[in-house]
Chains A and B, each alone.
Chain A
Amino acid sequence: DIQMTQSPSSLSASVGDGVSISCRASQSISNYVHWYQQKPGKAPKLLIYSASTLQSGVPSRFSGSGSGTDFTLAISSLQPEDFATYYCQQSYNTPYTFGLGTTLEIK
């Protein structure tokens, strides 16, 4: 199975800050990476697919980049509703696997 390693596991930031979350794959996976946001008690929400394509309806302050083994989710100018847990997921091979998540907390 392809392992997806996210860092950091948690992150504190303030409203208005910009942050980046990293996701590293255990082998090269081209751009078959997708990012989700999950709030407590809710289902995950798709933010970014194929590494850098913004899902319809997702604010443009979210962006994704990377290829191969290293990927980044960036959020510019954090809003109060952005404090949540973020997961990356690979679809290069089955089983599809997720990172363990990065929890973004308010400082």
Chain B
Amino acid sequence: QVQLLESGPGLVKPLETLSLTCNVSGDSITNDHYWGWIRQPPGKGLEWIGSFYGTGSAYFNPSLQGRATMSIDKSKNEFSLRLNSVTATDTAVYFCARGPTLQYYYYYYMDVWGKGTAVTVSS
């Protein structure tokens, strides 16, 4: 059974960098699947942040204006999101999720999700 678990600081000050980690069990992040991040501001809808495949390059939502990066740690089977220069509009629950296999890239749906981690940006 594939499980994802997000971890993060909970509270980040404005203009600092938000760092989140997603630990994956039951599957390898270098196997044939995409992995990514989605967020949900309080009381609002879902926003896709970015995704990657295997050890390849990540791609991001342009709405983030280049503030996001992703990395992987194969030894821990986890991947991370860094979002710099945060503001109050980055306050949200952040989810990591598994995407499709490479064969189904165009059908980019997310079939396994973490429980989410809440992040508040405030001084």
A interface residues (Cβ-Cβ under 8 A, vs B): 32, 34, 36, 42-46, 49-50, 55, 87, 89, 91-92, 94-101
Contacts and interface: CB of A to CB of B under 8 A. Distances in A.
Interface string B95-106: 101000000001
Given A43-B114, A43-B115, A43-B116, A91 B109 contact: yes
Interface stretch (B10-18, B41-49, B81-89): B41-49
Interface residues of B, number: 20
Contacts of B61: 94-95
Contacts of B109: 34, 46, 49-50, 89, 91
Contacts, number: 55
B45 A87 contact: yes
A34 B113 contact: no
Contacts of A91: 106-109
27 contacts: A32-B106, A32-B107, A36-B110, A42-B115, A43-B97, A43-B116, A44-B46, A44-B110, A46-B111, A49-B107, A49-B109, A49-B111, A50-B107, A50-B109, A55-B111, A89-B48, A91-B108, A91-B109, A94-B59, A94-B61, A95-B62, A95-B63, A96-B108, A97-B48, A98-B46, A98-B48, A101-B45
A104 B109 CA distance: 22
A9 B95 CA distance: 23
Contacts of A98: 45-48
Shortest beta-carbon contacts, A-B, top 10: A91-B108, A43-B113, A34-B109, A95-B61, A49-B109, A96-B48, A98-B46, A100-B45, A46-B111, A50-B107
Considering residues B47, B48, B59, which has the most beta carbons from chain A within 10 angstroms of its beta carbon?
B48
Scoring A50, A95, A97 by chain B CB atoms within 10 A of each residue's CB, the highest score goes to: A95
A35 B63 CA distance: 23
